[in-house]
Amino acid sequence: MIRWGHTVAGTARWRCVRCRRGQCWKRVDVAACNVNRLKDRWMLGVASLASLAKQIGAHRTTLSRKFRSLDIPTSPIPLRPLTHPPVIVLDGTTISKTTVLIIAYDTISNQPLAWSFVSHEKFDVWHALLMRIAVRHQPHAIVSDGQKGLLKAVKTIFPHIPHQRCFAHVIRLSLAWLTRNPQTGAGQELRILIRVLAQVKTPAHANAWCESFTLWNACYEEFLKEKSINPATGRKWYTHRKPRAVRSLVLHALPNLFWFTIDNHIPNTTNAVEGGINAVLAELLHRHRGITEQQKKALVTRFLYARRRRKLPTRNAT
């Protein structure tokens, strides 16, 4: 077959060099491709159904009927080739009352590696997701918010990989427990230490902060052991529960809190997923509120595939 001009409509015409018969090739999936493009424009863009219908010269009811079967794409978008061990950010977000999205995101290539829809964040689901990644990739580092099931899964599958705890979660939760105006000297000093934690950038700063926290812990160790008692029932509890809770949070996070100070490729927060994925998904789901559970999963899947397809801006050489 050789090219043989075009039709009046502009479609390429082909001609057989043997039988000298001409014909036009027609793709049978053109209509389906066009509908999928419209679905992506509506689900992932800002245009309303009415404005989109006006742009393509159709009625709103026609588009509504076409979009009624919002399904998960049958042809997944493959990963862009990785030329490096990925730095994986792990996080979960609620997309409905019964469904949670857990995601593994590579901060170097800026694309989601894997994700799954589950009912709750727990060890089994994180273990299954990480096993899918371990088959193909050996991470350079992992960043997470320290969810218990996630921590156990990471220790099981990647026991020797640096695991950075998210600074934002530690600081935010600690300040929420201590409140803006702690009523004890221990709480006031601990609040200052937590606020200084956000300024740690180098290994020297990290060592100095750890020394300050160790001194605080030694100074108020007996104070934090004080207990109150109910005279009527005899029940006892720790008097200063909030400072104790913050101390426990920091002590558990401390072994994995400062990996980013010795490796520039490791971020100190999960903001790549929290802000770049979860926040955008929350806005899209709110914009399309009223769709079914399956349609929400289709929307999320299309969005994550679009993130794999997205081209990153080029950087000028310096």
| pLDDT tens sequence across 220-256 | 999 999 999 999 888 999 999 999 999 999 999 999 9
Residue type, 4: W
pLDDT value at 75 more than 80: no
Strand order in the sheet with 111-118: 111-118, 100-106, 87-94, 141-144, 163-165
pLDDT confidence of residue 317: 44
Of 161, 165, 127, nearest in space to 144 by CA: 165
Rounded to 10 deg, the angle between the 185-197 and 167-178 helix axes is: 160
Contact 124, 147 (CB under 8 A): no
| Other C-beta atoms lying within 10 Å of the C-beta of residue 162 | 17
Contacts of 238 (CB under 8 A, 6+ apart): 224, 225, 226, 227, 228, 244
Token pair for 46: 């800002």
pLDDT confidence of residue 19: 83
Contact 99, 119 (CB under 8 A): yes
In this predicted structure, which of 3-12, 27-36, 65-74 has the lowest mean pLDDT?
65-74
Reported as a pLDDT band with limits 50, 70 and 90, residue 290 is: confident
Higher pLDDT, 33 or 105: 105
Of 144, 182, 194, 186, nearest in space to 166 by CA: 144
Contact 271, 168 (CB under 8 A): yes
- Mean pLDDT (whole number) for 191-212: 94
pLDDT confidence of residue 310: 65
pLDDT confidence of residue 306: 86
pLDDT confidence of residue 318: 43
Residues 24 and 65: their CA atoms lie apart, in Å, by 30
pLDDT value at 156 more than 50: yes
Residue type, 153: A
pLDDT confidence of residue 261: 94
pLDDT confidence of residue 311: 56
Between β-strands 163-165 and 141-144, what pairing exists: parallel, antiparallel or unpaired? parallel
In this predicted structure, which of 18-22, 119-123, 191-195 has the lowest mean pLDDT?
18-22
pLDDT confidence of residue 73: 64
Region of 237 please: left (phi>0), alpha (psi -120 to 50) or beta: beta
